[in-house]
């Protein structure tokens, strides 16, 4: 039984600056400057550019300015900063979710499920492995946008306590977003943080947010709805473990795993 203390999570919901990482960093600086006393800051998918299918036009590297900015802001806030970027890795492009720690160290998860409907699979290389990070005794799973639609990949194998989903999820499928983030929390008996964007992109997509922090029952602890804001809430390990002990659905789960190709 974990003796992890509470952690405080902040989810940032706002518009994006299309293919303009410097403007994006300025935008998020304003949010982070106003933030105090959090352990984890969650930014959306491709937060420095918006979600686009011409990665050769505007991309990041692991030693580039936006990753350095994440490390600096993590150190300044004394908190982990996470969100995904368009990342060039040798001769490939990845949709990479960075996990930047206050001590300057980093990990990452490369988006597994590329959005075929939008052509992402033509321009990006998908990852193979899940990413589960540790923070203050908490095990936190990282997922990116379209991953949300694949419950087997997102399945809690008794290896995480909270799951993060960062996204550029448009209005046209808002009901799916609202439904699926709750389903992932309920079926996996885990906290879920869903971070989506606002505004519009040049491709005609509009975004209404719906960023949330959900408890293990799928109930909203915070719901940003369609407002630009930073929402913060504390997560409780004792409450999570008490519920899992009281309602031990994981003990009746089917014993299988699916290995990625």
Known catalytic residues are 45, 111, 145
Distance of CA 9 to the CA centre of its chain: 12
């Amino acid at each position: 039984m974990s003796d992890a203390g509470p952690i405080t999570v902040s989810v940032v919901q706002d518009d994006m600056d299309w293919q303009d990482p410097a403007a994006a960093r300025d935008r998020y600086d304003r949010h982070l400057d106003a933030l105090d006393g959090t352990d984890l800051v969650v930014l959306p998918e491709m937060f420095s550019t918006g979600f686009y299918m011409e990665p050769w036009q505007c991309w990041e590297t692991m030693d580039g300015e936006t990753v350095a900015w994440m490390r600096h802001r993590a150190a300044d806030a004394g908190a982990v900063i996470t969100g995904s970027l368009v990342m060039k890795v040798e001769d490939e492009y990845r949709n990479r979710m960075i996990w930047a720690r206050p001590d300057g160290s980093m990990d990452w998860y490369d988006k597994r499920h590329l959005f075929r409907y939008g052509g992402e699979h033509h321009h990006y290389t998908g990852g193979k492995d899940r990413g589960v990070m540790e923070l203050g005794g908490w095990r936190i799973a990282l997922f990116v946008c379209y991953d949300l639609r694949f419950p087997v990949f997102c399945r809690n194998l008794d290896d995480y306590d909270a799951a993060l989903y960062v996204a550029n999820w448009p209005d046209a499928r808002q009901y799916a977003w609202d439904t699926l983030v709750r389903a992932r929390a309920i079926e996996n008996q885990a906290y879920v943080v869903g971070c989506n964007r606002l505004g519009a992109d040049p491709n005609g997509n509009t975004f209404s947010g719906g960023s949330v922090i959900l408890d293990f029952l799928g109930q909203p602890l915070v719901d940003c709805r369609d407002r630009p804001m930073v929402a913060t809430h504390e997560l409780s390990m004792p409450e999570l473990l008490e519920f899992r002990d009281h309602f031990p659905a994981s003990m009746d789960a089917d014993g299988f795993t699916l290995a990625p190709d």
